[in-house]
A and B are shown apart, each in its own frame.
Chain A
Amino acid sequence: MESFKDLSSCRYEISESNDGEMIIYLEGRIDADNASSLIESFGSLIRDRSPVSLVLDLKKVTYLDDFGALVLVELRDMMADAKGEFNLKNAREEVLFVIDSEAIAESPKLIKIRPPSMFVRFGDAILKYVSDVKYLISFVGSVCLAFTYTFFHPKSLRMDDTFLYMQKTGVDALPIVGMISFLMGLIMAFMSSIQLQMFGANIYVASLVSLAMTRELGPIMTAIIVAGRSGSSFASEIGTMKISEEVDALFTMGFDPTRYLVVPKIMASVFVVPILTLFSDIFAILGGLTVGVFMLDLTANAYILQTLKTLSLFDFFLGIFKSGVFAILISWIGCLRGFRVKGGAASVGQATTSAVVSSIFLIIFFDSLFAVTLRYLK
């Protein structure tokens, strides 16, 4: 007997003969707690002494699970690498079974899911893009169909849901839209006043704030907030329903998922987002007014008169109309991303992100389309 070791609940003794035969007597439990330290210490033992043969005596082992079997397998492999012999003594049947199972050698190497090579990804991206575009077109079609159906069968519209989404998208967003717009008006008035004051043109702060907000910034700001709040929630709601097979359930019960899930959301958005925009305009003008009255020595009366003089009905309705279009885009892309969800939770997260990003892109893109079109119409 040469050495004697204690490793939490497992002990072992080693005896070594002169012609390089090594016997290890194991005692106690071999489990998850000590498997790795056993492998390590036996490994260094084999490397140091390089025995010709190794025998493990398992007679006094009280507990051996697959972690224990792992220790045996590792030792066997180490001995095989060193061209030595490996034997077990007094092993129970199950242990032998686990060790001999050829499946371990046969089964494929474990891979980590990591991004494949650049070319594969490039090809993948193109394929995905094509299928996205295909789906996008078919989704436009099915939304149009659903709306046509709803138009001719108004009773099929799910009123309760529509009202619920109106509340979630509109009423619940009012505080944040109001607050941000007020601050925007404040900042715009403040920044422009520094320049305009030099020319004694304080009063034009009112024109600048009101025109910029009603035509451009009001609709855009509101749309971006709605995209972040509601577009994302539409995507994650439908996405979650998709992975828990609720969408399939709707389908098999004879509901058209588009009509059931998408129409109320788009309806509600188209209705409330313009109203939100109206509020956004009003709050921004109030913000400008605050700066005008308290910092620029304008009277509230003069400020409001100037605002009314600047704004035409056309500007106002243009802003409202644009926000209606944005509402359709946001809710449409949100639902679309939701329906594209496949697999698990991570996919829902992706859909949500992409719903918001695509909405913001579409908002800006359509806004520039409006700008260019108007320029040529005039």
Chain B
Amino acid sequence: MEKNNIIEVRDLVVGYGADTVLENISFDVEEGEIFIVLGGSGCGKSTLLKHLIGLIKPISGRIRIDGDDISDCDEATFKKILRKIGVLYQSAALFGSMTIAENVSLPIKEYTDLSHKSLETLVKMKLKMVNLNGYENHLPSEISGGMRKRAGLARAMALNPKILFFDEPSAGLDPVSSVELDNLIIHLNKSLGTTMVIVTHELQSIFNVAHRVIMLDNKTKGIIAEGNPKYLKDHSDDPFVRNFFNRKSEH
């Protein structure tokens, strides 16, 4: 089956004010792919992600999400795009005044008209999926950082969006939870065909889950490597890229 590109980025220039962070980058993400963005600290990964989800407008260039241009579209199209994406923020961004279950049910209530009872069952299934069953009635401040992250994931997946964006999902997780999260990502990807765009540093999970990676660099303000991480690890021309995957310092 011909795969189509669910995200298309062309000649994108992003930055804050007059300072550009990335210049003229282009890449595609295929439907159903697990796509990882990596690079050293401060190279603009979070910035790129914020542009992909339409939080910031690019300086120039084009970003298409499932055929619609997110950088230049009317309100209705933007709403339509937002319905297709889910985001797990770096700090989980759960609403502190609501219980975990309320956090997860918020988007479901807004966009579907399920009865109260069905909603409750669904929320429990979602929380079971991220192993948080039993914590429905806890407040975000009453659970640990890693649990908050999983609750944030449950909320991001609430409507089973076509694309899920993750900003450093495994930061702050113990190795076991981190592997569990990876497995969850793989499972969701396989069973629902969800496209995943992930920003991460975690080498182990990169090798575990990634179908394809791009690597950003703040010196060239562009993409310095693209492809399968297992291949790049040994065969990249760039020693910096090889060192990154092999956890070696340049000096």
The chain A residues found within 8 Å of chain B, CB to CB, are: 31-33, 35-36, 39, 63, 65-67, 69-70, 73-74, 94, 98, 101, 103-104, 106-113, 342-347
Q: A32-B112, A35-B114, A36-B114 are in contact. Are A66 and B96 (CB under 8 A)?
A: no
Q: Are B125 and A101 in contact (CB under 8 A)?
A: yes
Is B249 on the interface with A (CB-CB < 8 A)?
no
A74 shortest CB reach to chain B, Å? 6
Q: Please tell me if B123 contacts chain A, counting CB pairs below 8 Å.
A: yes
Residue in chain B with minimal CB distance to A101: B128
Interchain CB contact (< 8 A) of A110 among B113, B120, B141: B120
Contact across chains for B141 and A66 when beta carbons are under 8 A apart: no
Write the nearest CB–CB distance from A334 to chain B, whole angstroms.
22
Contacts of B139 in A (CB 8 A): 113, 343-344
A107 near B134 with CB under 8 A, answer: yes
Assembled-state Cα–Cα distance A32/B114 (Å):
9
Q: Which residue of B lies closest to A32 (CB)?
A: B159
A147 to B170, CA, bound (A): 45
CB-based contact A108/B99 at 8 Å: no
Q: List 26 A-B contacts (CB under 8 A).
A: A32-B108, A35-B112, A36-B114, A36-B115, A39-B114, A65-B160, A69-B125, A70-B114, A73-B125, A74-B118, A98-B125, A101-B128, A104-B124, A107-B136, A108-B137, A109-B120, A110-B99, A110-B101, A110-B120, A110-B124, A111-B99, A113-B97, A343-B139, A344-B96, A344-B139, A345-B96
Q: How far is the CA of A344 from the CA of B99 in the complex (A)?
A: 12
State whether the Cβ of B122 lies closer than 8 Å to any Cβ in chain A.
yes
**A109, A344, A345: residue with the most chain B Cβ atoms closer than 10 Å:** A344
Establish whether residues B133 and A103, one from each chain, have CB atoms under 8 Å apart when the complex forms: yes
Beyond A35-B112, A104-B121, whether A343 also contacts B136 by CB under 8 A is no
Q: How far is the CB of B153 from chain A (nearest CB, A)?
A: 13
- Taking the complex as formed, is B129 at the interface, i.e. its CB lies under 8 A from any CB of chain A? yes
Q: Which residues of A contact B123 (CB under 8 A)?
A: 110
Bound-state CA distance A113–B191 (Å) is 34
Binding site for A on B (CB under 8 A): 95-99, 101-102, 108, 111-115, 118, 120-129, 133-134, 136-137, 139-141, 159-160, 191-193
Contact A66 B160 (CB under 8 A): yes
Q: Is the CB of A344 within 8 A of B122?
A: no
Instruction: Report the bound CA distance from A39 to B108 in whole Å.
Output: 15
Central interface residue in B98, B122, B126, B134, by most chain A CB within 10 Å: B122
Whether B121 lies near A36 (C-beta < 8 A) is no
What's the Cα separation between A346 and B123 when bound, in Å? 24
> Contact at A66–B137, with CB atoms within 8 Å?
no
- Of all chain A residues, the one with the shortest Cβ separation from B98 is A113
- Are the CB atoms of B137 and A67 closer together than 8 Å? no
Please report the C-alpha to C-alpha distance between residue A73 and residue B139 in the assembled complex, in whole angstroms.
Answer: 27
Which of chain A's residues has its CB closest to B140's CB?
Answer: A344
Closest chain A residue, CB of each to CB of B111: A32
Q: How far is the CA of A33 from the CA of B129 in the complex (A)?
A: 20
B112→A36 contact, CB < 8 A: yes
Contact call B113/A36, Cβ cutoff below 8 A: yes
How far, in angstroms, from A101 to B129 measured CA to CA in the complex? 10
Tell me the complex Cα distance, A74–B118, Å: 7
Question: Are B99 and A113 within 8 A (Cβ)?
Answer: yes
* A346 vs B114: C-alpha distance when bound (angstroms): 29
Docked complex Cα distance between A38 and B20 (Å): 50
CB-CB < 8 A to A65: which residues of B? 160, 191-192
Select one of A67, A101, A112, A343 contacting B96, CB under 8 A.
Answer: A343
* Residue of B whose beta carbon sits closest to that of A105: B124
| Closest CB in chain A relative to B47 CB, distance in Å | 21
Known: A113-B139, A344-B97. 4 other contacts (CB 8 A): A35-B118, A67-B122, A104-B124, A111-B99
Chain A residues whose CB sits within 8 angstroms of the CB of B113 once the complex forms: 36
Task: Report Cα–Cα, A346/B127, bound state, in Å.
Answer: 24
When distances are taken between beta carbons in the complex, the residues of chain B under 8 Å from A63 are 192-193
Nearest neighbor of B100 in chain A, beta-carbon distance: A110
Min Cβ gap A378→B in Å is: 53
Q: Would A106 and B133 count as touching, CB distance under 8 A?
A: yes
Nearest CB of chain A from residue B134's CB, rounded to whole Å: 6
Are A32's CB and B96's CB within 8 A?
A: no
Q: A39-B114, A39-B118, A343-B141 are in contact. Are A107 and B129 (CB under 8 A)?
A: no
